[in-house]
Amino acid sequence: MTIKSMRDALNEALHHEFERDPLVFLIGEDVGGFEKDGQPVEIGGVFGVSKGLYRKYGRKRVIDTPISEAAIIGAASGAALCGMRPIAEIMFADLTAVCFDQIVNQIAKFRYMFGGQCACPVVIRMTTGGGRNAGAQHSQTFYPIFTSFPGLKIAVPSNAYDAKGLLISAIRDEDPVLFFEPKVLYTEKCEVPDEAYAIPFGEAAMPREGEDVTLVAFGQSVNWAVQAADELRKTRGIRCDVIDPRTPSPLDEETILESVAATGRLVVIDESPPRCGLTADIAALVADKGFRDLKAPIKTVTAPHTPVPQARELERAYLPNPRRIIAAVEEVLA
Partner 1 sequence: MDHDDLLGAYRRLRLLREFEERTRVEFQTGQIAGFTHLYAGMEAIAVGVCEHLTDEDRIISTHRGHGHCLAKGCDPAAMMLELWGSTDGLCRGKGGTMHIADFSRGMLGANAVVGAGAPIAVGAALASLMTGGTWVAVSFVGDGGTNIGSVYEAMNLAVVLQLPKIFVIEDNGWGEMTPIANATGNRDLAARAAAMGMPAVAVDGVDFFAVHAAAGEAIARARRGGGPSTLVASAPRFYGHHEGDPQLYRSREEIADLRRREDCLPRFIERVTTEGSLTAAELAAVDADIARIMDDAVAKAKAGPRPVPGDVFDHVYARYR
Residue 306 · residue 278 · CB < 8 Å:
no
CA dihedral 171, 176, 182, 187 (to 10 degrees): 10
Closest approach, Cβ 109 to partner 1, in A, equals 8
Indicate the residue among 69 and 315 with the shorter CB distance to partner 1: 69
Per CB under 8 A, the segment of 108-116, 160-168, 288-296, 322-330 that binds partner 1 is 108-116
Q: Which of 70, 198, 261, 333 binds partner 1 (CB under 8 A)?
A: 70
Q: Which of 37, 66, 237, 334 binds partner 1 (CB under 8 A)?
A: 66
Strands 33-36, 39-42: pairing kind: antiparallel
Provide the mask over 273-302, with x wherever binding to partner 1 is found by CB under 8 A and - wherever it is not.
------------------------------
Of 245, 123, 220, residue with least CA distance to 178: 123
Q: Which of 115, 234, 235, 288 binds partner 1 (CB under 8 A)?
A: 115
Residue numbers annotated as active site: 138
Indicate the residue among 212 and 244 with the shorter CB distance to partner 1: 244
Within residues 9-48, the interface with partner 1 by CB under 8 A covers 25
Tell me the C-alpha distance between 205 and 255, whole Å.
9
Provide the mask over 118-157, with x wherever binding to partner 1 is found by CB under 8 A and - wherever it is not.
xx------------------------------xx-x----
CB burial string 74-111: b at 16+ within 10 A, e below: bbbbebbbeebbbbbbbbbbbbbeebbebbbebbbbbb
Report which residue type is found at 43. I
The reply on whether position 78 binds partner 1 by CB under 8 A is: yes
Q: Which of 51, 111, 138, 299 binds partner 1 (CB under 8 A)?
A: 111
Q: Which of 40, 56, 114, 211 binds partner 1 (CB under 8 A)?
A: 114
Phi (first) and psi of residue 195, to 5 degrees: -85, 170
Residue ranges of E strands in the chain: 2-5, 24-28, 33-36, 39-42, 62-64, 85-92, 123-128, 153-155, 177-182, 189-192, 205-208, 213-217, 240-244, 266-269, 299-301
Phi (first) and psi of residue 269, to 5 degrees: -125, 130
Indicate the residue among 40 and 200 with the shorter CB distance to partner 1: 200
The reply on whether position 68 binds partner 1 by CB under 8 A is: yes
Task: List residues binding partner 1 (CB under 8 A).
Answer: 25, 60-61, 63, 65-66, 68-84, 86, 99, 101-102, 105-106, 110-119, 150-151, 153, 173-175, 201-202, 250
